[in-house]
Structure 1
Amino acid sequence: MSNKEDAYLIYDDFETRYLLRFYLSYGLSFGPTSYQSGALKEKSQKEFEEKYQYIKDVFEKALNALRNNQKVVVKKSRNNQIREIINTESELFFYINKYRGKRYLSPELINRLIDDLKVVTN
């Protein structure tokens, strides 16, 4: 991620690397097949919350950029081509909702992220 004068940049490797790994670790740590308990579960929960806060921070910065009349630009990390330009808050929420189909975040986490972002003030 990067903040330029007129745009906040999100590179697609944030989605394909960070979010996908987060999704997979969430499923393994807290899904129906998880056998964690006690201290291991508490450690996993703490790590999960730290990673979630990082994700939330990225989108909070994007939301604040939009509110400051900047654009959010999603670029391909390999060749720096623009993949998507987000101009409004509703487009940002639509962008986040697209993760449901891509399986980068669970539906519960998408709902939590959107709810958390809706109460953000500058």
Structure 2
Amino acid sequence: MSGISIITIENRRLYPVKAYDTEENNEITPIIDIDSIYDLLNRREKIFFISNQYDQYGRELDNFYGYIGSEDIKALFYVNDEELDRNLSAIMTLSEAAKKWGFSDGSTIRKAIERGKFERHEIKQAGDIWITTYDAMERVFGKIKNEENELIIYDDFESNLYRLFLKDVQRDYLREKVRERNLKENEILYNNIREVLISALVAIRKGNKVIIKNKRSNKTKQVINTERELFVFIELFSRRNLMTELRNNQLLEDFKKI
């Protein structure tokens, strides 16, 4: 099932977007397709939108209710639920993709689009803005430049996160002796996880990227360029049910001390 999504100038992601004409004969009329939204934006300064709202890393924000004008919109496009479920941050504008792949700007990617290097399903045009994904960028441009110098973390790291999550949840239901052993095992797991993430923080502070890859396919799932992006990546563990909220807060507090 597909719906309408918006990337704003501030890089907020709105999805699924519901647009309304609030000025025609004092009635509130829903607008159900992108062409009609563009047509109304050409006739009106702003139109009313209601939507779920996320930041550029996929972190959920307060729901959006309000007016948006064409000058507030970076991209307006159709997206299906499967794409959003995989990873909100996997959808990038060309300028964002250029930074991840080490290009000076999006012109190299635009030229590749003009030459037909991308498949139709790999790119979308939203007004004057093009959007793409990690899979598409890797197929067309290959590995990130100088990838051998970057820190690569494989997603099987998440299995340790999930093991810790399950053991933390079970802890209060265990017998005392078993609970003591469980606590020791949990701390070992936690320290292993923390060491991996500390190595990511050190790499970023040295000016390197952190690349999250699928263990089986070796495909890039995410690229983390800054400390802020790393902190958001960690903050989302509890929301993805990879870590309890209590443990996630502990990890974030530990990182603030580094």
The structure, 1 or 2, with the larger RCO (C-alpha pairs under 8 Å, 6+ apart) is: 1
> Once superposed, which parts of structure 1, at least 4 consecutive aligned residues long, lie more than 4 Å away?
none
Instruction: Specify which of 18, 27, 42 is matched with residue 160 of structure 2.
Output: 18
Match of 2:97 in 1: none
Match of 1:72 in 2: 210
**1:80-119 aligned within 5 A:** 80-119=218-257
Q: Which amino acid is the alignment partner of residue 11 of structure 1?
A: Y
1:65-97 Cα shifts (integer Å, max 9, x gaps): 111111110001111011110001010010111
Q: Which amino acid is the alignment partner of residue 238 of structure 2?
A: R
Q: Which has the higher strand share?
A: 2
**1:17-56 aligned within 5 A:** 17-30=159-172, 34-37=173-176, 39-56=177-194
Aligned residues: 112
Cα distance in 2, alignment partners of residues 35 and 65 from structure 1: 39
Q: Which amino acid is the alignment partner of residue 14 of structure 1?
A: F
Q: TM-score, normalised by structure 2?
A: 0.42
Cα distance in 1, alignment partners of residues 197 and 174 from structure 2: 31
For structure 1, which segment, 84-93 or 20-29, has the greater mean C-alpha deviation from structure 2 after superposition?
Answer: 20-29
Query: 1:35 Cα shift?
Result: 3.2
> Does the aligned pair in 1 maintain the 2:213–2:222 contact within 8 Å?
yes
- SS of equivalent to 1:74: strand
Query: 1:36 Cα shift?
Result: 2.0
Q: Which amino acid is the alignment partner of residue 7 of structure 1?
A: E
Compute the RMSD of aligned alpha carbons.
Answer: 1.4
Unaligned 5+ runs, structure 2? 1-146
Cα distance in 2, alignment partners of residues 76 and 45 from structure 1: 30
Match of 2:151 in 1: 8
Query: 1:19 Cα shift?
Result: 1.1
Cα distance in 1, alignment partners of residues 218 and 202 from structure 2: 23
Unaligned 5+ runs, structure 1? none
Q: Which has the higher helix share?
A: 1
Q: Which amino acid is the alignment partner of residue 10 of structure 1?
A: I
- SS of equivalent to 1:104: coil
Cα distance in 2, alignment partners of residues 44 and 82 from structure 1: 34
1:75-121 Cα shifts (integer Å, max 9, x gaps): 0111101111000101001011121221000111111101101111x
Identity within the alignment, % = 34
